[in-house]
Amino acid sequence: MTGTGVLPDREIRALVEADGIGLDAPLADGQVQPASLDLRLGDTAYRVRASFLAGEGRSVAERLGDFEMHRIDLTDGAVLEKGCVYVVPLMERLALPEDISAVANAKSSTGRLDLLTRAITDGGVEFDRIRPGYRGPLYAEICPRSFSVLVKPGLRLNQIRFRRGQAILGDGELAALHEEMRLVTGGPAVISEGLGFSVDMRPGEGDLVGYRAKPHSGVIDLAAVGAHDPTEFWEEVRTTRGRIILDPGAFYILVSREAVHIPPDCAAEMAPYLAMVGEFRVHYAGFFDPGFGHDAAGGTGSRGVLEVRCHEAPFVLEHGQIVGRLVYERMAARPDALYGAGIASNYQGQGLKLSKHFHSA
């Protein structure tokens, strides 16, 4: 057993071998990531009237009896409609040791499609948070916000990270790590309850600063990589003034000004948006794996793609405006594989980039 912190890939595999993680099908290639496990959709989706949590002492299956509208067989593929809420049992279940908790989050490609995906559990009182020692099934709540999507069993929309205790780096530790490893380039290291990051509204070349989801578009096949024409789903956002105005209800793909670096002995999570910053949300896919933006010579950094949804009022977003923060946590041990090093990592060294489902324009 390793120490306190986020469990690395080999401990995740050990949990599987010890039946701490139960599987309806053998592990798929690439399912175990450096600091997380991809979760796979089962073969049935339940269309429900509203999002819900099971609540203390109640099961998800029991609550489905209260809210289910109809069931959808995913075996041959099925469309989940924009604006609807679905619950899908996952192929993984847990029997965690009493000293292990877990947290789930959407995968990067899921967040970039404005596909709200959250884990729910029996007895759960929070989305994506799984108590120490939890024993029971896992479910994904899925709400397509901008695009209808075609799904089938085995697709991986969210991921789960396991922790033994907590090893979050305080501001002093984070500042010292930045001095040693250079956690951010392209902007100042703003350290306050994590590492702040800002939005880039002044690209080095041209005037393209982001993409906005079109309100009326077709279906995205989530199993089809590089198969979709981005012009059918996105409109370009351009500015030469260093700012844009976010429209209420609209979804944007933007990019951070800074390139961030996650050293091999750390993992990071994008902290939830705080309302006093403005009328928007930044944060769908929140996990950053060990090795993100890292090379053998040290941290050169990769920029973070920002998934932004504006709320009730139009909001001016300006170059260099702080829009979120990364919370760093120690790994319980260094993983055997790092992000972008010998594994399929779609977004290492990224700049402004749509999800893997779209081909280059």
User: Does 339 fall in a domain?
Assistant: no
Phi, psi of 263 (to 5 degrees): -60, 160
98's tokens: 């009493």
Q: What is the pLDDT of residues 198-251, one digit of tens each?
A: 899 999 889 999 999 999 999 999 999 999 999 999 999 999 999 999 999 899
**Same-domain status, 177 and 315:** yes
Residues 122 and 203 in one domain: no
**Is 343 a domain residue?**
no
Same structural domain, 213 and 305: yes
Predicted local distance difference test score (pLDDT) of residue 223:
94
Classify residue 135: in a domain, yes or no. Answer: yes
Distances (CA, A) of 238 to 205, 241, 252: 12, 9, 12
Whether 190 and 323 share a structural domain: yes
Indicate if 203 and 324 belong to the same structural domain.
yes
Q: Is 15 inside any structural domain?
A: yes
Average pLDDT, the chain: 90
Per residue in 272-288, pLDDT (tens digit) is 555 555 556 666 558 89
The 3-state DSSP class for residue 54 equals coil
> In b/e form, how buried is each residue of 134-153, taking b as 16+ CB within 10 angstroms?
bebbbbbbbbbebbebbbeb
Are residues 176 and 159 part of one domain?
Answer: no
At 347 the pLDDT is 46
Phi, psi (rounded to 5 degrees) for 146: -110, -30
For 293-339, the pLDDT digits (tens) are: 876 544 467 888 888 888 888 989 999 988 888 999 999 999 998 88
145-171 per-position pLDDT tens digit: 999 999 999 999 999 999 999 899 999
Domain tally, the chain: 2
CA angle, corner 192, sides to 186 and 198, nearest 5?
35
Residue that finishes a domain, picked among 164, 191, 222: 164
Identify the residue with better confidence: 348 or 271: 271
356 located within any domain: no
Whose CA is closest to 13, among 32, 29, 28, 26?
32
Half-sphere exposure of 91 (CA within 13 A, CB side): 23
The CA-atom distances, in angstroms, between 348 and each of 25, 83, 352 are 29, 31, 12
Count CB atoms within 10 A of the CB of residue 75: 10
Q: Which residue among 114, 137, 164 closes a domain?
A: 164
Residue 232 lies in a domain: yes
CB 198 within 8 Å of CB 219: no
Question: Rounded to two decimals, what is the model's pTM?
Answer: 0.92
Find where tokens 């994008």 sit. Answer: 270
Element (DSSP H or E) covering residue 326: strand 322-330
Task: Provide the pLDDT for residue 348.
Answer: 47
- Do residues 138 and 202 share a domain? no
- Residues 6+ positions from 322 with CB-CB distance below 8 Å: 190, 196, 197, 198, 277
Q: What is the CA radius of gyration of the chain?
A: 20
Domain holding 270: CATH number? 2.70.40.10
Looking at the structure, do residues 109 and 19 belong to the same domain, yes or no?
yes
Domain extent for 158: 5-164
The answer on 323 and 246 residing in a single domain is yes
pLDDT digits (tens, 9 = 90+) for 85-100: 999 999 999 999 999 9
Tell me, yes or no, whether 55 and 109 share the same domain. Answer: yes
Q: Beta strands 5-6 and 156-164: pairing type? A: antiparallel
Interatomic CA distance for residues 264 and 82, integer angstroms: 38
Closest by CA position to 357, among listed 161, 114, 142: 114
Kindly state whether residue 353 falls inside one of the protein's structural domains.
Answer: no
Q: State residue 84 phi and psi, 5-degree precision.
A: -105, 160
Q: Does residue 323 share a domain with residue 177?
A: yes
Alpha-carbon distances, residue 67 vs 48, 70, 87, 90, 228 (angstroms)? 5, 9, 10, 19, 34
Residue 341 has pLDDT above 60, yes or no: no
Whether 358 is covered by a domain: the verdict is no
For the chain, percent of residues with pLDDT exceeding 70: 91
Of 164, 181, 209, the residue at which a domain comes to its end is: 164
CA 302 to the chain's CA centroid: 16
Q: Are 342 and 213 in contact (CB under 8 A)?
A: no
With 50 as the cut, is the pLDDT of residue 349 above it? no
From first CA to last CA, the distance across the chain in angstroms is 48
Co-location of 144 and 257 in the same domain = no
186 versus 316: the higher-pLDDT residue is: 316
